[in-house]
Structure 1
Amino acid sequence: MGFDQVKGILDQGMTTWVQAKGRPANLQGHGATFKWDTKADLLAASGHGKRLIQPDVIGQNGAAANLVIDLRTGIDSPLLRMPKGGPFIPDDPIKIIEDWITQGCPD
């Protein structure tokens, strides 16, 4: 497991959302650093003013990462679960992201 698998999960989630909605996603409201093109981008990414992967959870507790919470339930409300309005990424791929973070975000 590595970043390429995590990126693939996030990319597929976005592709599925775009296909279901029939329009491109507008990610501008998330903030300028909301991207996952590279591992460095993902580790530095923020959305709505919150780090997607807080440094203190890396190698410790991937379930507590804002990214994982956002994908599973939504940080502040189920209405904010991402991607907004679904279709949502299934739990098995989210668990892969969680484990990747817990394992220290290996390449």
Structure 2
Amino acid sequence: MGINTFREVVGILDAAVNGPGTAVGPPHHAFWRDITRDEFVATKVLGQPILVLGDGAHSNLILSLKGEPPFGSGLNAKFPRMPIGFDAVPDDAIRSIELWINDGCPDGSDAQTG
């Protein structure tokens, strides 16, 4: 099942760093915490937007989690794969965030409850 809320994305990113109480250091800190979905969509890290609304495959957040250029571990990598110092985010979780971005980063406002 796909992600329908920003809170679910925050949960994946917090799990990637061993929980919401874990401090995340520079250069970007835990940029996903204590902000709204709209603030998240507009976030830039090191001057670069973290996502391209509607285009997960080309969003820096997804590239960084996958370790794809400009992120990675080789000599040609401009930035390290994220999260630094933690295990890689599971592929299915990355794919879920990618699909959420493709869907325009919904925040459940159109979802029916109950």
Deviations 1:46-73 (A, max 9, x none): 22221101xxx312x2111110000001
Compared CA separation, residues 64 and 86, structure 1 to 2 (3 A): same
Measure how far apart 1:74 and its partner are: 4.3
Bigger CA radius of gyration: 2
Deviations 1:15-52 (A, max 9, x none): 26x97xxxx4313x238xx6113212311222222110
Listed as ranges, the gaps of 5+ residues in structure 1 are none
| Equivalenced residues, count | 95
- Aligned-residue RMSD, C-alpha: 2.2
Q: Is the 8 A contact 2:67 2:81 kept in 1?
A: yes
Query: Counting helix residues as a fraction of each chain, which structure ranks higher?
Result: 1
Structure 1 runs (4+) greater than 2 angstroms displaced:
none
Q: Partner residue of 1:83?
A: 83
Aligned partner of residue 70 in structure 1, secondary structure:
helix
Question: What is the percentage of aligned positions where both structures have the same residue?
Answer: 36
Listed as ranges, the gaps of 5+ residues in structure 2 are 74-79, 108-114
TM-score scaled by length of structure 1: 0.75
- Which residue, out of 33, 36, 55, partners 2:32? 36
